[in-house]
Chains A and B, each alone.
Chain A
Amino acid sequence: MIKKEMIAMLLAGGQGSRLGILTAKVAKPAVAFGGKYRIIDFPLSNCINSGVDTVGVLTQYQPLRLNTHIGIGIPWDLDRNIGGVTVLPPYEKSANSEWYTGTANAIYQNIDYMDSFNPEYVLILSGDHIYKMDYEVMLDFHKQNGAEVTLAAMPVPLEEAKRFGIVITDENRKIVDFEEKPANPRSNLASMGIYIFNWKTLKEALLAKADQPNLDFGKHIIPYCHEKGAPLYAYEYNGYWKDVGTLHSYWEANMELIDIVPVFNLYEDYWKIYTKSDKLPPQYMSADSVVERCLIGEGSVICGKVYNSIIGCGVTIEEGTVVRDSIIMNDTTIGKNCEINKGIIAENVIIGNDVKLGVGEEIDNDTAPHIYNHGLVTIGEKTMVPNGVSVGKNSVVSGNTTVADYPDMYLGSGKTLIKAGDE
């Protein structure tokens, strides 16, 4: 009989709506990160580096890019005879067909998948965090303590603790209580949304709470296990961990990679991050190019000046253009004599000549100030920006735009230009 000690379930169905136009057409785990990667590469690489070779990826929102990226798991060595990676979308049943209505509900609907591997432990991960973690060490901790549930938690500054789910533990890291976004936190250990369950415990909890609407791990399953008196432990993690949930935190996490020795180092041979690479050629720097403090992906051609930026694969930046503090994703082309400041430019964008992005004063975004802020200019995927136009700060542009969309050739700060039909 097939037996896997621990299998992983990776929640990758969320939209990540606070990433605005970046997740209009792709799920958040499929958003590009760090030049050549996608966010889901980090948990997937952690799995294989930790010896977890069976991963179910739960998809729901806009799964196309995610599905093509994962394929049969070749880049992560997850193409296995037994186990490997399996994409698990919601499916129709003879009765009670439904979408995944919550994190734990998604897992509940795939009990058969997990049962088929007869696991001892199930690792629950989410597909939208940037970090490196050895889940095997966490499993050792879980076993040593005889825990039924272990959740990974990291210390955060006390003043920020009110934004997180906080766990309160005794001196042996056994959890005594929880607080969800507390006004006056009693501890600074924040839950990272990474859980190891004994499969027996998890299955029992999922079945018991099956009728709970929007069944969620943090809100329902963990409290249920706690009330039942199952031993719950917190595994303290002290490395780099970043929730790239907002455009600004996404931008910041990318920029942190540029540091001389970044806290999050992609160049470590013993903990490689794997991704599907469509492009192999080296990058070309022309005789007039200037690149400083940059990460640049395969096959890009740089003829302009690029400072402090993350450039994906297959990008072209033509001569006379100056790019600063920006993220430019795969296969985007930027014309001549442009100026790009604090831009987040998604994949397959074409920017004409003499375009200026991120100019003018800072004004709050008119439609979604909670998304488009901190002076960033965001350009959605497959957007065309015509020659000669300027775009202000905190603005967003998407779709096949023409000069007519830019009054006086200038889209002011805080403006939203999303062409109909492309939403």
Chain B
Amino acid sequence: MRAIGIILAGGHNHRMRELSQKRAISAMPVAGSYRSIDFALSNMSNSHIQRVAVLTQYNARSLNEHLSSSKWWDFGRKQGGLYVFTPVVTADNSNWYRGTADAIYQNLDFLKNSHEPYVVIASGDCVYKMDYNKVLEYHIDKKADITVVCKDMPEGMNVDRYGVIKMNEESRIEEFEEKPVVAKSNTVSCGIYVIRRRLLIELIEKSAEEGRHDLVADILIRYKGMKRIFGYKMKDYWKNIASVEDYYETNMDFLKPDVRNFFFREYPAVYSKVDDLAPAKYNVGSDVKNSLVSSGSIINGKVENSIIFKKVFVGNNCTIKNSIILNDVYIGDNTHIENCIVESRDTIRANSYYVGEGEIKVLIEKNERYDV
């Protein structure tokens, strides 16, 4: 094994609005049957990285539940395994993670006790499929100190919420600006880094001494002149979930055949926790067009251009349009839902009418459910 993995999964974002109340972004359900972190975890597993640490902080209940067993991603091995690190109070530290670098610093023993020469750092809020070995080979080939995976965003797209990178013709990173007011290129960092383990330990310890806690600002940007930091361009699908709009768009992308085939049918597969739900059921009156439906769901009404997650019940004569219905939602008869994201475990009363006007509406309706 050449590398160990670190997945940064502690983040939340106010632009996720009500959706972030319940869970960290890494635990957001994505594409009907998955959670955001499944993509990074599956990539690690499929890249034969067997020792992986997940660093969590913000509301990790849902995430911990999802990671209750590591066997779904094939980490339940004698060699390696999946480690979940939440901030803890110790004899000499009682801080929360004050930043990504600090999160790694507080778990530095994980790095020190490994013997693999490299570390792959990824974040848990991106949807993509990638063989990290390719980045690693590139990293070695370029004799880089740090390799940053990046992606060219479409010309003219507003990239002011990303880390924007400018590389020279050798692909060495010359400029790296976090959330720039005026972006100098359309190449953005994907938040995936490859670095030698000893170098990472050194840089993290040094930053900690200086009271600096952020991986991007205090290490990548600060050292970009001194260290050989290279960019590796990723061509395939990559989306970062940082806002309700991103989240909606990322899910809706899975209605496109090329995205669906890439993630669902092409090798290797994306893994997730297995829920043992019955096949989806379509009763008389169901009318489902251009939609994804997950197992355990029972459909009695009309569904169009929507993503139905697991264990959803859609009542008679309902219309669900351009919406995302998260796990375990019950929708009573004659209900109309359009341009909405319905929060998981909601119960929507019969004869309700919800339409997101202008923006996507996040629907949280905790009514009493009468189980039959």
- Establish whether residues A281 and B31, one from each chain, have CB atoms under 8 Å apart when the complex forms: yes
Which interface residue of A36, A74, A282, A284 has the most chain B CB atoms within 10 A? A282
The answer to whether B272 and A280 touch across the interface, beta carbons within 8 angstroms, is yes
What per-residue 1/0 map shows which CB atoms of B273-291 lie under 8 Å from chain A? Answer: 0101011111111111111
Q: What CA separation (Å) do A299 and B254 show in the bound complex?
A: 12
Which of B71, B280, B283 is within 8 Å of A296, CB to CB?
Answer: B280
CB-contacts of A264-285 with B (<8 A): 266-267, 272-275, 277, 280-285
Q: Is B337 an interface residue (CB 8 A)?
A: no
Name the distance in Å between B108's Cβ and chain A's nearest Cβ: 34
- The answer to whether A283 and B293 have CB atoms under 8 Å apart is yes
Q: Is the CB of B32 within 8 A of A281?
A: yes
| Contact present for A281 and B33 (CB under 8 Å) | yes
Residue in B32, B255, B270, B276 whose beta carbon sits within 8 Å of that of A275 in the complex: B276
Asked if A296 and B282 sit within 8 Å, CB to CB, the answer is: yes
A385 CB to nearest chain B CB (Å): 22
Find A298's partner among B287, B295, B307 (CB 8 Å cutoff): B295
Residues of A within 8 A of B269 (CB): 280
Cα–Cα distance between A292 and B287 once the two chains are bound (Å): 8
Interface size on A, residues (CB 8 A): 36
Question: B34 to A35, Cβ gap below 8 A?
Answer: no
Known: A282-B31, A282-B292. A75 touches B282 (CB 8 A): no
Query: Are B292 and A284 interface neighbours, CB within 8 A?
Result: yes
Q: How far is the CB of B288 from chain A (nearest CB, A)?
A: 4
Q: Is the CB of B274 within 8 A of A294?
A: no
Residue in A74, A284, A295 whose beta carbon sits within 8 Å of that of B279 in the complex: A295
Distance between Cα atoms of A281 and B288 in the complex (Å): 17
In the complex, the answer to whether B281 meets A294 with C-beta atoms within 8 Å is: yes
Residue of B nearest to A278 (CB): B269
B32 touches A267 (CB 8 A): no
Q: Are A74 and B282 touching (Cβ within 8 A)? A: no
- A220 at the B interface (CB under 8 A): no
Contact A285 B33 (CB under 8 A): no
Chain B residues within 8 Å of A299, by CB: 264-265
Contact A36 B274 (CB under 8 A): no
Shortest Cβ distance from B296 into A: residue: A267
Chain B nearest CB from A263 CB (Å) reads 15
Q: Which of A307-333 contact B (CB under 8 A)?
A: 310-311
Contact of B33 among A258, A290, A298 (CB under 8 A): A298
Q: Report yes or no: B34 in contact with A272, Cβ–Cβ below 8 A.
A: no
CA distance A266 to B297 in the complex (A): 11
- Residues 243 to 276 of chain B near chain A (Cβ within 8 Å): 255, 260, 263-265, 269-272, 274, 276
Q: Provide the bound-state CA to CA distance between A265 and B274, in Å.
A: 20
In the bound complex, how far is the Cα of B265 from the Cα of A15, in angstroms? 33
User: Is the pair B295, A284 in contact by a Cβ cutoff of 8 Å?
Assistant: no
CB within 8 A of B278: which of A258, A267, A286? Answer: A267
CB atoms of B293 and A282 under 8 A apart: yes
Asked whether, in the complex, the Cβ of A281 is within 8 Å of the Cβ of B276, the reply is no
Chain B CB within 10 A, most for which of A272, A285, A291: A285
Bound form: Cα–Cα A284–B278 in Å: 16
Most buried by A among B260, B280, B294: B280
The reply to whether A75 and B291 contact each other, CB–CB distance below 8 Å, is: no
Given A293-B282, A297-B279, also A280-B274 (CB < 8 A): yes
A266 → B minimal CB distance (Å): 4
> Inside 8 A of B303's CB, which chain A residues have their CB?
285
A412 at the interface (CB under 8 A from B): no
Q: Are B292 and A272 in contact (CB under 8 A)?
A: no
Q: How far apart sit A286 and B304, CA to CA, in the bound complex (Å)? A: 10
Question: What's the nearest-Cβ distance from chain B to residue A221, in Å?
Answer: 35
Is B283 a contact partner of A273 (Cβ separation < 8 A)? Answer: no
CB distance from A208 to the nearest CB of B (A): 42
A283 touches B296 (CB 8 A): no
| CA of A105 to CA of B289, assembled, Å | 55
Please indicate the chain A residues that have their CB under 8 angstroms from the CB of B263 in the complex.
Answer: 281
Q: Is there a chain B Cβ closer than 8 Å to A289's Cβ?
A: yes
Closest-CB distance, B187 to chain A (whole angstroms): 31
Check if B271 sits within 8 Å of A287, measured CB to CB.
no
Contact in complex: A285, B293 (CB < 8 Å) = yes
Contact of A289 among B33, B271, B289 (CB under 8 A): B289
Q: Hey, which chain A residues are within 8 Å of B288, CB to CB?
A: 285, 289, 291
Check A13 for interface membership: any CB of B closer than 8 A.
no
Q: Are B278 and A266 in contact (CB under 8 A)?
A: yes
Residues of B with C-beta under 8 A to A358 = none
Q: Is B204 an interface residue (CB 8 A)?
A: no
Asked whether B298 is an interface residue with its Cβ less than 8 Å from the other chain, the reply is: yes
In-complex Cβ contact of B282 among A34, A288, A291, A298 (8 A) = A291
Are B290 and A287 closer than 8 Å at their CB atoms? yes
Given A281-B264, A282-B309, output 13 extra A-B contacts at Cβ < 8 Å: A34-B278, A35-B278, A260-B283, A277-B274, A282-B294, A282-B307, A283-B292, A285-B303, A291-B286, A293-B283, A295-B280, A296-B281, A298-B294
Q: Which 3 A-B pairs rank lowest in CB-CB distance, beginning with the nearest?
A: A282-B32, A35-B279, A266-B278
| 15 A–B contacts, CB within 8 A, in A order | A75-B276, A266-B278, A267-B296, A280-B274, A281-B32, A283-B294, A284-B292, A284-B293, A285-B291, A292-B284, A295-B280, A297-B295, A298-B279, A298-B294, A310-B279
